[in-house]
Amino acid sequence: MSNLKNYSRRRFLAQSGLGLVAFAGMPGFLHAMEGMQGLHGMPKLTPNKASPNFKPDVEFNLSCESSSVSILPGQKTLVQKYSAKLIKGPENTITEIADSYLGPLINLQKGQKVRINLYNKLAEPTVTHWHGLHVPANMDGHPMYVIDPGQTLVYEFEVLNRAGMNIYHPHPHEATAKQVYNGLAGALFVHDDEEAALGLPSGDYEIPIVIQDRLFDEQNQLIYARNMHDRMTGFYGDRILVNGRPNFQIDVDSRAYRLRVLNGSTARIYKLGWDDGTPLTVIGVDGGLLEQPQVKPYVMLAPGERLDLWADFSGRNEGSQLVMRSLPFSGVLPKMAARMGGMMMHANTLPVGSDYPIFTARVTKKVSDSPKLPAQLSKINWHQISATANPEKPLPIGISEGPMAMLLNGRPYKFDDIQDIERIKVNTIQLMEISHAHGGGHGKEPAPASGEHGAEKQNGGMGGMGMMGGMKHGDDDQKGGGQGMMGMGHKGGMGMMGGMKHGDGDQKGGGQGMMGMGGGMGMMMTMAHPIHLHGQQFQIVSRSASANNEADYATVRDGFIENGLKDTVLVMPGETVRIIKPFQDFKGLFMYHCHNLEHEDMGMMRDFLVE
C-alpha cells in the first residue's frame, strides 16, 4: 500500500516535469515521508530522453523483464533478465547467450557513439550501470536515475575506454543485490585497435565465463537472503553457475583460447586454478590488457572483478579434460560467521574458501596449429605518485563493518551527503588509500586466534553487538525461515544468543546456545571487501597486510594482479591498499562502494562529487 502511494507520488513528480526543483521545494514533512518510503532523499528526476543532436553509431533497446528459464532439470526458474534488440550498428553488437538468464553479450568499439534505450518492464524501479565504462555522471546509472515500471531511460555516450570486459547491471538504491541475483547482469566488451593488432583468439576461441552462485528450492526457484546474517556476510548459494548454466562444460580444440572471466556473484570470492596445477596465464584484468602476460599459480576473483586468460590446450589429447576449480583459502569471512554459515546451512552448502569445481574444459579435437602468446600485449599509461594532486595526503576510503553499520568513511550511503574528502576536482589524478577503519562502533581488541569462544566469556564481553534469534540451521531455515536479528549493545565484545543449534560436538550444550566472544567485534567482524570505484580505472600502488592474519593471507597472496588497470580491488582483512585514480572529463556524482552487493545495499556505498 505504501509502495503504491510511493509510486504515484514519484510519478506525479516525474510527470509534472518539475523533477528536482519540485522536490527541493517540498515542505519538510514530505521530504521525511519520502525518506521513510525508502528514497533516502534521492530526487526523482524526469528520465533522460534521446537528444536530437546526438548521432549514434550504435543504438539498441535494452529491456529489464521478468522471465522464466530452464536452469535445473524439471521446473523452470523465475528470473529477471535483460534482453536487447539492435536498432543500428554492427550485427555483433548484441549476442544472446542461449538458454540463459544472463543478459546478451554487448560488443562495442572504442570511439563509437552509443545510444541505449532502457525499458523497465519489471514491477519495481531499476536503473542500469555500465560497470567499468568511463561515461558522464548522468549516464552512469547512479541510483538517482531509477525509472519506474513502464518508463524508459535513454543513455547516450561515446566509448572512451580501451579494450576490456565490463559489466552492465542494475543499481537501484538498496535493491542492487537482489536484482543482480534474480538474473539482471551481462558482459559488455569494448574492442580497440591495440587489441585487434594482437590477433588474440576470437570467435569460437574466445569464451565468456561469467561465474555466479545461486541457491534453489525444491521447485527450482531462487532463494535469496533470508536473514541479517546472510546480508552481513553476503549471500552465498550452493550451486555454481557459469553463463547461467550448472555443470558448465566447454568443448575445446587442442589450441589456445581466450577466456573472458567475470565474477558476477553478489558476494562469493573465488580462487581460480586448474585442477592439475597448470598455472594461469593472465593477459588482462578489469581495465583491459596487461602490458605483458603474467603467470600465476592461481588468481583471486572477487565480485565485480574480471580476468582475461590465455588458456592453451595445445598438446593435450583428445578426451582429456581440465577443470577450473576454486581452490582452498581462508580469511575472507569472519571466523565466527564462517562457522555459523556452516552450521546454519548444513552440508549442502559450498563454504567460501572450500575446494570445488567451477567448469570443465574437455578437449574434443586435436589440432596442430595454435596462435602464439604475444610477449607484449599493450601499453599502459601509468601515473606516478608525484603526478597526483595529493602525493602526501591520500584520500581515505575507510571500511567499517558490522551488523548495523556497513559504512565507508564512517558513514552509510546517503544522497547529497558529500564530505570534504569526497569532493574531487575534475581532471585531477588522486592518490587514495583503502583501509579498515573499524569505525563501525565495535570493539578493537583482537579476536582469540583460534576463533573458539566459550560461553563463560559471554558475561565478560558484554555484547558490543548482539545477535539473537532465528539462527536455526536445518531445512526450514533453508526455505526462508530463520529471521535473524541483531542488536548493538554497549562496551566491547559480542554476544550471540538463541537458537544456535550446532552438531558435530562443536559446542557442547547446543540447542538453545548462548555464545560469547571475549575478543570483541573488531577482528571478528573484519572480512574481505571488494571495493569498486565508478568511472576511470585505477592502478594499484601498494598493498600492505597486517601481521595478524599471516596464515590466512598466505592462502591468497599470490592471487592478486597488480600490474593492470582495475576498477574493483579485493581488500583483505587488515590490508591497506593504495591506488592512483584519474578523475578526468566528467563532473558529477560517481559512486564508490563495496561490490559485495549485500554490503552495498546495506549502505557500504558513498558518492564522490567531481566538480
Q: Please give the Cα distance from 285 to 274 (Å, whole number).
A: 18
Question: Residues 81, 191, 214, 532: which binds ligand C2O (CB under 6 A)?
Answer: 532
Report what 529 binds from Cu ion, ligand C2O, none; CB cut-off 5-8 Å by kind.
Cu ion
- Closest distance to ligand C2O from the beta carbon of 366 (Å): 40
Q: 160 with 110: CB under 8 angstroms?
A: yes
User: Angle at the Cα of 35 (from 31 to 37), degrees rounded to 5?
Assistant: 120
Question: Residues 534, 543, 578, 599: which binds ligand C2O (CB under 6 A)?
Answer: 534
Select 228 or 591, whichever has its Cβ closest to ligand C2O: 591
In the region spanning residues 503 to 562, those forming contacts with Cu ion, defined by CB under 5 A, are 529, 534
In the region spanning residues 548 to 607, those forming contacts with ligand C2O, defined by CB under 6 A, are 591, 593, 595
Q: Please give the Cα distance from 356 to 585 (Å, whole number).
A: 44
- Closest distance to ligand C2O from the beta carbon of 600 (Å): 7
- Closest distance to ligand C2O from the beta carbon of 605 (Å): 8
Q: Chain centroid to CA 135: how far?
A: 19
Report what 304 binds from ligand C2O, Cu ion, none; CB cut-off 5-8 Å by kind.
ligand C2O
Phi first, then psi, for residue 552 (nearest 5°) are -65, -45
Which x/- pattern over 136-175 shows residues binding ligand C2O (rule: CB under 6 A)?
-------------------------------x-x-x----
Q: Which three cell numbers stand for residue 157?
A: 555516450
Which runs of E-coded beta strand occur in 276-328?
Answer: 280-285, 288-296, 299-301, 306-312, 321-326
Count of residues that interact with ligand C2O, criterion CB under 6 A:
11
Report what 271 binds from ligand C2O, Cu ion, none; CB cut-off 5-8 Å by kind.
none
Which x/- pattern over 277-316 shows residues binding ligand C2O (rule: CB under 6 A)?
---------------------------x------------
Select 13 or 184, whichever has its Cβ closest to ligand C2O: 184
Q: 220 with 241: CB under 8 angstroms?
A: no
In 10 A of CB 364, how many CB atoms? Answer: 14
Question: Residues 493, 520, 596, 610: which binds Cu ion (CB under 5 A)?
Answer: 596
Report what 596 binds from Cu ion, ligand C2O, none; CB cut-off 5-8 Å by kind.
Cu ion
Which x/- pattern over 111-130 shows residues binding ligand C2O (rule: CB under 6 A)?
------------------x-
Select 155 or 313, whichever has its Cβ closest to ligand C2O: 155
Q: Chain centroid to CA 205: how far?
A: 27
Q: Which three cell numbers stand for residue 417?
A: 551527503
Close Cβ partners of 272 (under 8 Å, ≥ 6 residues apart):
261, 280, 298, 299, 300, 301, 307, 324, 325, 326, 327, 358, 559
User: Angle at the Cα of 599 (from 262 to 395), degrees rounded to 5?
Assistant: 90
Q: 102 with 95: CB under 8 angstroms?
A: no
Strand, coil or helix: 577 = strand
Can you give the binding site for ligand C2O, defined by CB under 6 A? 129, 131, 167, 169, 171, 304, 532, 534, 591, 593, 595
